[in-house]
Chain A
């Protein structure tokens, strides 16, 4: 069993304990301060809603992790790839395609975008420092952002692919009123889980993982042992593009397809800092922690400071994490020889 899987297992065992401890702490706080209240069923409901919301953050963060693993570069354009993919998908649906067909065609478009990015932007920049590649991704961000809206217009659009949205009530025999969850969030969670499973098999447990890390570390050396840099880049950007498409569909059906989709990338940042920039499981766990953490904090601690905790909670958590564990929960250890 590899060490990442072991750490992962430990965390899973640790989670119920952590949830109980936080619950007890909140209950204690509620007893001392009359502005707060606490109820276990409500706590679990908020927690579950937060976790499911977190899966959506993870979907965005995944795209970042993929490209970071393969080039050591934070891909600023990931957010606009999400927007571009969602816009394109809606565009094709509006042209009359069934959504499954539109999905396939859009996935094809994202692969083309990946190949174009590799040819036009990355290829001339082989062997350049990471900061140069990062600047290039900022360029890609603005290009895709503008290009997408030029092609498909800048109106807010609805993306409707028939995901159920009604509320469900579960655990009615444990709690008096049960726990309500949203069916849409549940579907999003399943999609996220499936995507992660596929990616994990593809990247963690094959030697592609090794080639990716090699490419990220040193282009020249990777070339000299015969790793075809261009193919690797095109593959990774394609996969990141398809992940962006899935994230775009989920976010788009939830909140509508509009420019602000490109900005959810900002929410992915704290997720990455928590989970580690190089870890696929890390992106998931980070997303769950951020999602659940900000919901719980908002609802149960919000009254203390007059609310609006949700806006900054994720960033504060990330900041605290940077002080304690800068490589994130599952990131590769940082090695520096002086």
Chain B
């Protein structure tokens, strides 16, 4: 592992026997795993395995019929997405969900909304304090912009950016929330090799410099094996394997799921 001195801590988030169904279709069956502090956890599996559903459950978009989720050792009640955001869970989406008419800068600034203290009424009245706060947040955002090397597109409406850069802006917006847990849904999908390498570097740097815990979904096995500390494998809504990359790669069930098996 490249970052040898990293200390993976205790459990940050634990999902326990999660079952999620849409009508008669079971998207997730009895899934349990944990995400540990400061680690990079990859969730992999064939298409339709339930990976994104899993992220949506953690993030509060979906509500599982059964099971428990513990975050920082406290059992979570039915969760709404903006409450999850408040607790320190940020995410990106599989099919980029940015505010397309807004500039890169404004998009990232939305990530600061929860960190802003004054409420809307104060914002309307207290010019001075309001402005100072805006400037302080702008500084944080500028650092993130430098970090992700997107200075040049600061003022560009994101709808005009190429896909690879949009993904980067989305990551920037999530980072602006200074999350404890960052969920990345296929951060490298649709990228060329160079863009993928950049993105890998950013993910590793975020994890290393800010100590952010990251759970990511990815299809590129090279990437997964390189950057993740642990891998969870899903298939048809069930968990197949859970462990360090090398171990998972050798797992017979996993190989069968990916290559198909003759019965």
Interface residues of A (CB under 8 A from B): 201-202, 205-208, 210-211, 213-214, 217-218, 220-229, 235, 332-333, 335-337
Contact across chains for A332 and B177 when beta carbons are under 8 A apart: no
CA separation between A332 and B101, bound complex, in Å? 8
Contacts A202-B124, A206-B120, A207-B123 given; does A226 touch B86 at CB 8 Å: yes
Contact across chains for B123 and A224 when beta carbons are under 8 A apart: no
Collect the chain B residues with CB atoms within 8 Å of residue A201's CB: 124
Q: Pick the 9 closest A-B CB pairs, nearest first.
A: A226-B85, A221-B97, A217-B99, A223-B81, A335-B159, A206-B123, A226-B114, A208-B120, A226-B82
Which of A213, A214, A229, A333 has the most chain B CB atoms inside 10 A of its CB?
A: A214
Contact with A along B111-122 (1 / 0, CB 8 A): 101101000100
Collect the chain A residues with CB atoms within 8 Å of residue B59's CB: 224
CA separation between A222 and B97, bound complex, in Å? 9
Which residue from B81, B100, B159 sits with its C-beta under 8 Å from A224?
A: B81
Q: In the assembled complex, how far is the CB of residue A231 from the closest CB belonging to chain B, in whole angstroms?
A: 9
B interface, size bucket: 20 to 34
Contact across chains for A207 and B116 when beta carbons are under 8 A apart: yes
CA separation between A57 and B117, bound complex, in Å? 38
Q: In the assembled complex, how far is the CB of residue A181 from the closest CB belonging to chain B, in whole angstroms?
A: 33
CA separation between A73 and B195, bound complex, in Å? 36
CA separation between A336 and B100, bound complex, in Å? 9
Q: In the assembled complex, how far is the CB of residue B84 from the closest CB belonging to chain A, in whole angstroms?
A: 8
Collect the chain B residues with CB atoms within 8 Å of residue A337's CB: 159-160
Contacts A202-B124, A206-B123, A220-B61 given; does A228 touch B93 at CB 8 Å: no
Contact with A along B84-97 (1 / 0, CB 8 A): 01100011010001
Contacts A206-B120, A335-B157, A335-B160 given; does A221 touch B130 at CB 8 Å: no
Collect the chain B residues with CB atoms within 8 Å of residue A336's CB: 159
Collect the chain A residues with CB atoms within 8 Å of residue B177's CB: 225-226
B102 located at the interface, meaning its Cβ lies under 8 Å from any Cβ of chain A in the complex? yes
Q: Which residue of B lies closest to A198 (CB)?
A: B124
Query: What are 19 A-B interface contacts by the 8 Å CB criterion?
Result: A206-B123, A206-B124, A207-B120, A210-B102, A210-B106, A211-B110, A213-B101, A217-B99, A221-B97, A221-B98, A221-B99, A224-B85, A224-B90, A225-B110, A226-B82, A227-B82, A229-B82, A332-B101, A336-B159
Collect the chain A residues with CB atoms within 8 Å of residue B151's CB: none
CA separation between A226 and B80, bound complex, in Å? 10
Collect the chain A residues with CB atoms within 8 Å of residue B40's CB: none
Contacts A210-B109, A217-B99 given; does A224 touch B157 at CB 8 Å: no
CA separation between A335 and B80, bound complex, in Å? 31
Which residue from B61, B114, B159 sits with its C-beta under 8 Å from A225?
A: B114
Contact across chains for A217 and B173 when beta carbons are under 8 A apart: no
Contact with A along B24-58 (1 / 0, CB 8 A): 00000000000000000000000000000000000
Collect the chain A residues with CB atoms within 8 Å of residue B86's CB: 226
B198 located at the interface, meaning its Cβ lies under 8 Å from any Cβ of chain A in the complex? no
- A221-B97, A333-B101 given; name 17 further pairs at CB < 8 Å: A202-B124, A208-B123, A208-B124, A210-B109, A220-B61, A221-B93, A221-B99, A224-B59, A224-B97, A225-B90, A225-B110, A225-B174, A226-B82, A226-B86, A332-B101, A333-B157, A335-B100
Collect the chain B residues with CB atoms within 8 Å of residue A214's CB: 99, 102, 110
Collect the chain B residues with CB atoms within 8 Å of residue A224's CB: 59, 81, 85, 90-91, 93, 97, 174
Q: Which residue of B lies closest to A208 (CB)?
A: B120
B134 located at the interface, meaning its Cβ lies under 8 Å from any Cβ of chain A in the complex? yes
Collect the chain B residues with CB atoms within 8 Å of residue A213's CB: 99, 101-102, 106
Contact across chains for B113 and A207 when beta carbons are under 8 A apart: yes
Collect the chain A residues with CB atoms within 8 Å of residue B99's CB: 213-214, 217-218, 221-222
Q: In the assembled complex, how far is the CB of residue A17 from the closest CB belonging to chain B, in whole angstroms?
A: 32
